[in-house]
Structure 1
Amino acid sequence: MKTITDQIGREVSILKPLKRIVSLVPSQTELLVDLGLENYIVGVTKFCVHPVHIKSVKETVGGTKNIKIEKIKELKPDIILCNKEENTKEIVEACERIAPTHVSDIYTLKDVKDLIIQYGELFSCRTESKRIIEKLQFKTNSFKEFISNQPQKKVAYFIWRNPWMVAGNNNFINHILELNNFKNIYGNKPRYPEIELKKIRLEGDPELVLLSSEPYPFKEEHAFEIGRFTHHAKTVFVDGEMFSWYGSRLLKAFDYFKQLHQRI
């Protein structure tokens, strides 16, 4: 038996080799594939879109917030992978009754590296996890050198409309904004607060308004609607996966961020 402590402090006991994995977190599904574990994945969510073929070759077990628990049972997983933010406490508890369940909790790049190391231990792929971490460290160092020459800009990062919601503090998106030398005008608010557009100038008056591609499909009319309440802020549509997905997606994210700064 092997016991590992997951990222929310729970002890996860592993009684047998982990050959059947259900992943309820899109970014972690992508990480598993990049760790060479695709053949061990038996179930994914409908939001697991990377790699593009994954949903066509694996069983889909619902969404991240609405899982099909009976289908997961039928898959007879050796382990189920969850995330504190993506999945509810009730989902984690239901999964625990089926198989050992590991919960990640990601706020910083250090948390990402810790998760990759844990997966290396759990799935006996230490060489692959070390390789990804080394690449990630190289990309991070290169980006930090690049960003040191970029001026700080005040930003608002929108994730939803009706009601208007933004990224506040205490989440991975805010950490990524900080790495980009963006000052989040809503960094004094917790998590993902609802805001009033008419107060955006009073609450920080951003130079940049970033409209995420997920979870809400923002369009030009939404950019115009927000722009009416700012003082000549530039609105930029951004790839939400690059700001909110962790794991191996970050190997592509830092090149994307360089391109983003060059166009703003």
Structure 2
Amino acid sequence: MSDGTRSLPRVVSLVPSLTEAVAVTLPGALVGATDWCSHPAGLAVARIGGTKNPDVAAITALRPDLVLANEEENRAPDLAALRAAGIDVLVTAIRTLDEGLRELERVLAACGAPRRPRWLDDAEAAWEAVTPVRPAADGGPLTAVVPIWRRPWMVLGRDTFAGDLLARLGVRNLYGDHPERYPRLPLDDLRAAAPDLVVLPDEPYRFTRDDGPEAFPGTAAALVDGRLLTWYGPSLAEAPRELARALRAAHR
């Protein structure tokens, strides 16, 4: 006999951001996540490999009703294999904050959320109220180069979620109009761009005070929490405040 409660679908997430969003909103819905899904802390679900090399057989064995994926983070052949196994795969496409908010609402509804969660409202309100960081000396927006890898050096290019967040904070990515989304460029070119700031997130490459700023002598370096800059989930509510604080501290 039914007790009147609504059962949640069995969900596997291949995207760390979405893992956190679902786990916080719908405890019990997730049955599997990648090895890189680090939030929330202590998440007790089956681990099914990485975002780029998920174990399709292990995922299938979990009998999920839905697998969450992203066009950028996950490989098309893996998603095709899951579909061939009869599993429903929801693929998100997120390159701006607005897209992120819409896709989060879609994902959570597909996972059984009866209503929009409060944290999503808080995130939207926080970004609507954002105050741009201090402008450059010439009165224009601060300019930045945003490395995401070294050996070889790679930076944010066009149409990226992180780039959109920085723009809303009043920071212009000097490679935001580059033909590639994540161009590989010589370090000398990055230095010659003469940015006001070099923004160094701690993921996907773990830039630290001892690994990154030394490559840009004489340029202010803002070390930022990569989760706040690149994740779309509950952290979006605190991201504008904490990112602005890090950027202002670097450009005093």
1:100 paired with 2:84, answer no
Deviation per CA, 1:65-112, whole angstroms, max 9, x where unpaired?
Answer: 011111111101111110001101111111212310000010112211
Aligned mates of 1:61, 1:26 — CA distance in 2: 12
Deviation per CA, 1:32-75, whole angstroms, max 9, x where unpaired?
Answer: 0222x221211000110000111xx1100000001111111110
- Specify the alignment match of 2:10 in structure 1: 20
CA-based RMSD of the aligned residues comes to 1.7
1:150 paired with 2:134, answer yes
- Specify the alignment match of 2:195 in structure 1: 206
| Superposition deviation, residue 224 in structure 1 | 4.8
Over 3 Å counting, the alpha-carbon distance change for 1:72 and 1:154 in structure 2 is same
* Greater fraction of residues in helix: 1
Over 3 Å counting, the alpha-carbon distance change for 1:191 and 1:154 in structure 2 is same
Aligned mates of 2:189, 2:100 — CA distance in 1: 35
Q: Is the 8 A contact 2:158 2:177 kept in 1?
A: yes
1:243 maps to a residue whose letter is L
- Specify the alignment match of 1:191 in structure 2: 181
Q: Is the 8 A contact 2:23 2:29 kept in 1?
A: no
- Specify the alignment match of 2:216 in structure 1: 227
2:166 maps to a residue whose letter is L
TM-score (normalizing by structure 1):
0.84
Over 3 Å counting, the alpha-carbon distance change for 1:220 and 1:133 in structure 2 is closer
| Superposition deviation, residue 210 in structure 1 | 1.2
How many pairs are equivalent? 237
State which drifts further: 41-50 or 132-141: 132-141
Deviation per CA, 1:173-219, whole angstroms, max 9, x where unpaired?
Answer: 111111111111111212111011112244x2111111110111224
Q: Equivalent of 1:217, from 171, 191, 206? A: 206
Unaligned 5+ segments in structure 1 are 1-16
- Specify the alignment match of 1:4 in structure 2: none
2:90 maps to a residue whose letter is H
| Superposition deviation, residue 170 in structure 1 | 1.2
1:251 paired with 2:232, answer no
Q: Is the 8 A contact 1:31 1:249 kept in 2?
A: no
Aligned mates of 1:210, 1:53 — CA distance in 2: 30
Identity over aligned pairs, percent? 31
Over 3 Å counting, the alpha-carbon distance change for 1:43 and 1:130 in structure 2 is closer
TM-score (normalizing by structure 2):
0.88
Unaligned 5+ segments in structure 2 are 1-6, 136-140
Q: Equivalent of 2:101, from 113, 124, 130? A: 113
Over 3 Å counting, the alpha-carbon distance change for 1:102 and 1:222 in structure 2 is same
1:238 maps to a residue whose letter is V
Q: Is the 8 A contact 2:29 2:111 kept in 1?
A: no
Q: Equivalent of 2:50, from 54, 63, 82? A: 63
| Superposition deviation, residue 18 in structure 1 | 5.0
Q: Equivalent of 2:170, from 168, 181, 195? A: 181
